[in-house]
Structure 1
Amino acid sequence: MGIRYYAYAFDADHARQAIEDPRSILSSDPLADAWGLEPHATVSFTTFEQVPSERDMLYLDKAWAALQILTLPDSKTDATASCHRIFEGNVSMTGFGWEPFIRTILPTEMPAIHSDLALFDEFRVRAWADGWKSPHGANRDDELRYVLDYLEKAQQFVEALTADGRGMVYMIG
């Protein structure tokens, strides 16, 4: 099914828990949360509606890889370095599949991430896309719309976290 991206918000008073045990912030079945499936069911029907609210969960499907490349800093002093932190990382391959990448982003980090991520508008993404080729061989316009849609969801999620003084734990896996 592929490697996907899931992020869950946490309140500031759960920051220690998020640092010490980030998996405790994540759902035990994030794909079920994202697709509206019954958790842990072997057979289920989907509603294709995210179960947790959009203020509590961000699902980026497979667009995380494009967003990771899009926000890659040009240098160590590039302002976009802050927002890249919410897309950074990759799974660790094993002989039996992969181990997910999990990171905690504290509430104090969110304002800088929000400011940097807000710099990515459609014009900037289109300019970037001129030199980017989807590894999936998709139609360029369709792929661009896909990336822009998920970028907007990420921007809205980060904006809400910043406004609410919350942090996030994300998993690529």
Structure 2
Amino acid sequence: MGIRYYAYAFDADMTERAKADPRSFISDDPLADAWGLPHGAQTAVTNFEQSVPSTEMLNLDKAWPLLQEITKPSATDRRPRPGYRMFEGQATMHGDGWTPWVRALSPTEVIEIAEDLVELLPAVRDAEIAHRDTRYVLDYLNRAVEFVTGVAASNRGFAYLIG
């Protein structure tokens, strides 16, 4: 199935709890949420429409490493873009599969990330950032911008999982 990215919004008053245990804010079956499947289904029919509102959940599928790449530190600037915090992390591989990377971001962090991704969007749209998959990246970056700006506007944070 591969390593995927999912994010779920939480209310500001839950920030400390989310920071302490971000996994508790992630669905027990994010793939089912993303694909409109019943939780735990082994086989099912779906229309592939996300069952959780897009204001509450972001599915970046397998595009997250490309978004990580365009926000990571560059050769000239050793600091990552603020948006990198949203994509940072790797699942830890082991013999039986992998252990997901999970993090929670506070409402304050989300505001900084939203501002950065909004600023980054025209550069990707105008292909100022050279990338072999610009259209693919742009589609998922648009989704990320829509989600994070909505979460920021509602003064909420989010927890994300790469796994």
Fold shared, TM-score > 0.5 on shorter chain? yes
CA distance in 2, matches of 1:41, 1:150: 26
**Which deviates more from structure 2 when the two are superposed, residues 8-17 or residues 119-128?**
119-128
C-alpha offsets along residues 62-103 of structure 1, whole Å, 9 cap, x if unaligned? 11010000111332456x2x1100001101011111100101
Query: Paired residues, what number?
Result: 160
Post-superposition, which runs of at least 4 consecutive aligned residues in structure 1 deviate over 3 A? 122-125
* Deviation per residue, 1:113-141 (Å, 9 max, x gap): 11111111244452223xx44xxxxxxxx
Q: CA RMSD in A?
A: 1.4
CA distance in 1, matches of 2:155, 2:55: 12
Q: Which amino acid aligns with 2:157?
A: G
Distance of 1:121 and 1:95 partners within structure 2: 38
In the alignment, which residue of structure 2 is the partner of 1:37?
Answer: 37
C-alpha distance after superposition, 1:25-75 (max 9, x if no partner): 000000000000111011111221011111100000111010000111332
SS in 2 for 1:115: helix
Instruction: State the TM-score, normalizing by the size of structure 2.
Output: 0.92
User: Aligned partners of 1:40 and 1:150: how far apart in 2?
Assistant: 26
Aligned to 1:127: 128
Distance in 2, Cα, partners of 1:155 & 1:19: 22
- Percent identical across equivalent pairs? 48
Gaps in structure 2 of 5+ consecutive residues: none
Q: Which consecutive residues of structure 1, in runs of 5 or more, have no partner in the other structure?
A: 134-142
> What CA distance in whole angstroms lies between the structure 2 residues aligned with 1:123 and 1:39?
38
Q: Report the AA paired with residue 31 of structure 2.
A: L
2:52 is paired with a residue whose SS is coil
Partner of 1:16: 16
**Residues 34, 59 of structure 1: 8 Å contact kept:** yes
Shift of 1:14: 1.1
Please tell me the residue identity of whatever aligns with 1:158.
V
**SS of the residue aligned with 2:119?**
coil
